[in-house]
Amino acid sequence: MSTRQERLLARVALTWLAEPGTWSVYRLVRRLGPIAALELLLDGGAPEEKLRATVAARRAGGDARAVASDALARADRLGARIVCPEDEEWPHQLADLHRLRLPEASRRVDTETAPPLCFWVRGQARLDEALDRSVAVVGARAATPYGLHVATELGYGLADRNWTVVSGGAFGIDAAAHRGALSGGGLTVGVLACGVDRPYPMGNAALFDRIAETGLLLSEWPPGADPLRPRFLIRNRVIAAGTAGTVLVEASARSGATQTMNRAIAIGRRAMVVPGPVTSAMSVGAHEVLREQPDARLVTGVAHVLEEVGRIGADLAPAARGPERPADLLDDEATLVLEAFPRRGVIGVEPLASRAGVDVRTALRKLSMLEQLTLVLRRDGGYALAPPPKPGSPAARGRPDG
């Protein structure tokens, strides 16, 4: 019987031979196990000509088992660990990638979307627990101050409510969401498109160190792996599938963040979009998702996000409404009496009742209520509207509009 170390080495070697997400490799591992699958590929027995060519090209650059062994040793020196599907902390929701089918997909990054073979992890938190209650917050690198503010607030608010914030560690929205979660004292997970020892972008190196200290850095590629452009698109499926939902905060017309949203929608995850100014180029992609995807929901804050991803009936967002005013407490007759007052001057009870269309007894009862609410004042000869309070006072915020 093979040991766990042998199985890990085989999975790492397979990930080096073919990029993560390759369906034919994943199916071989499911059918034969990682060790037998690796032996088959190294013997030239790949089921597809394209995969055989890829394996041959990689083998020309080194021995797969030796490369994997070096990677394991490097991870050990780094303090990173490898997590695979046989481990207790494996996030099993990633199996939902089995049903990821993108319409009109032609590029490899859109067709090769198989579940991961393994993860390299930096950080002490358990991976499954970190992703159990998690929300992805993604968006533009060239974010506007508005987008950065919203992403930071979302990250902080989600962390404050014990939700893990997941993003890709990039400049802009990703970094703002991570920093918001760290400020909120919560967990945040950075899903990388390179080795967990390769801070990319370099400008976020200090941020990655903070994430590794209190949260998790996660990658399908071994330490030292380069951040190649296609890898960012490959890793997006992990962000989409590993979380309960994805929030898009700003995206241009051509944005990788919208690709993450499309993957989330395709596997049935909650897809949420923060609207932006219609005059901003950074809102075009986000608004197009809202227009084209019936399953995408508009959200404006943490309360809306929690309503989408939280427990049914337990995380409903409060209805948006203005501050409560004294006039909100009035019944129909009291409202008629109040509206019947002249804007200036004093009016007697009988003419006021006539203007309001109520009898005198009713007018007197309602005037007593209006007095208690400090909306009217008793004067010689009748009643008058109370003068408006000073701006900014509690009374001013409670006055009805004139």
CA distance 41 to 35: 10
Together in a domain, 261 and 297:
yes
DSSP-derived secondary structure letter, 340: T
Q: E-strand spans in 212-317?
A: 216-219, 245-249, 270-274, 296-298
Asked if residue 313 has pLDDT above 80, the reply is no
In a domain, 45, yes or no: yes
pLDDT of residue 2: 73
In a domain, 315, yes or no: no
In a domain, 320, yes or no: no
State the average pLDDT over residues 371-375. 91
Asked if residue 311 has pLDDT above 80, the reply is no
In a domain, 100, yes or no: yes
Instruction: Give the chain's mean pLDDT.
Output: 92
Selection from 381, 304, 367, 303 nearest residue 336 by Cα: 367
In a domain, 321, yes or no: no
Asked if 272 and 296 touch (Cβ cutoff 8 Å), the reply is: yes
- The per-residue pLDDT for range 97-139, each reduced to its tens digit, is 999 988 888 899 999 999 999 999 999 999 999 999 999 999 9
Together in a domain, 139 and 67:
no
Helix (H, G, I), strand (E, B) or coil at 188: strand
Together in a domain, 108 and 235:
yes
In a domain, 230, yes or no: yes
Together in a domain, 151 and 200:
yes
Question: Which residues does residue 297 pair with via DSSP β-bridges, in sequence order?
Answer: 272
Together in a domain, 105 and 44:
no
Question: Which residues does residue 273 pair with via DSSP β-bridges, in sequence order?
Answer: 248, 298
Largest CA distance in the chain: 106
Give the strand pairing for 376-379 and 296-298.
Answer: unpaired
Asked if residue 392 has pLDDT above 80, the reply is no
In a domain, 333, yes or no: yes
CA distance 392 to 103: 55
Together in a domain, 239 and 149:
yes
| Sheet arrangement for strand 296-298 | 81-83, 119-122, 216-219, 188-191, 164-167, 134-139, 245-249, 270-274, 296-298
Lookup: tokens for 84: 């695979």
Together in a domain, 12 and 140:
no
Domain encompassing residue 97: 79-309
Selection from 61, 48, 49 nearest residue 13 by Cα: 61
| Count of structural domains within the chain | 3
Q: For the range 40-43, what are the long-range contacts, defined as Cβ-Cβ under 8 Å and sequence gap of 24 or more?
A: 41/14, 41/17
Percentage of the chain beyond pLDDT 70 is: 93
Buried b (16+ CB within 10 A) or exposed e, 381-394: ebbbbbeeeeeeee
Confidence of residue 184 (pLDDT cuts 50, 70, 90): very high
pLDDT of residue 391: 64
pLDDT of residue 104: 81
345 phi-psi bin (left φ>0, alpha ψ -120 to 50, beta other): left
Give the Cα-Cα-Cα angle 384, 390, 392 (nearest 5 degrees).
135
CATH code, domain carrying 368: 1.10.10.10
Together in a domain, 377 and 391:
yes
**321 phi, psi to nearest 5 deg:** -155, 155
- The per-residue pLDDT for range 231-244, each reduced to its tens digit, is 999 999 999 999 99
Together in a domain, 276 and 383:
no
Asked if 276 and 282 touch (Cβ cutoff 8 Å), the reply is: yes
In a domain, 314, yes or no: no
- Which of 59, 78, 97 is at the close of a domain? 78
Asked if 230 and 108 touch (Cβ cutoff 8 Å), the reply is: yes
Selection from 177, 192, 47 nearest residue 121 by Cα: 192
**Residue 25 neighbours by CB distance under 10 Å:** 28
pLDDT of residue 57: 95
Asked if 294 and 284 touch (Cβ cutoff 8 Å), the reply is: no
pTM above 0.95, yes or no: no
CATH code, domain carrying 192: 3.40.50.450
Torsion of CA 251, 256, 257, 259, to 10 degrees: 120
- Which of 42, 63, 78 is at the close of a domain? 78
Together in a domain, 95 and 11:
no
Together in a domain, 69 and 86:
no
Asked if residue 303 has pLDDT above 60, the reply is yes
**Residue 379 neighbours by CB distance under 10 Å:** 11
- Which of 45, 78, 111 is at the close of a domain? 78
pLDDT of residue 352: 94
Give the strand pairing for 296-298 and 270-274.
Answer: parallel
Asked if residue 365 has pLDDT above 70, the reply is yes
Together in a domain, 162 and 53:
no
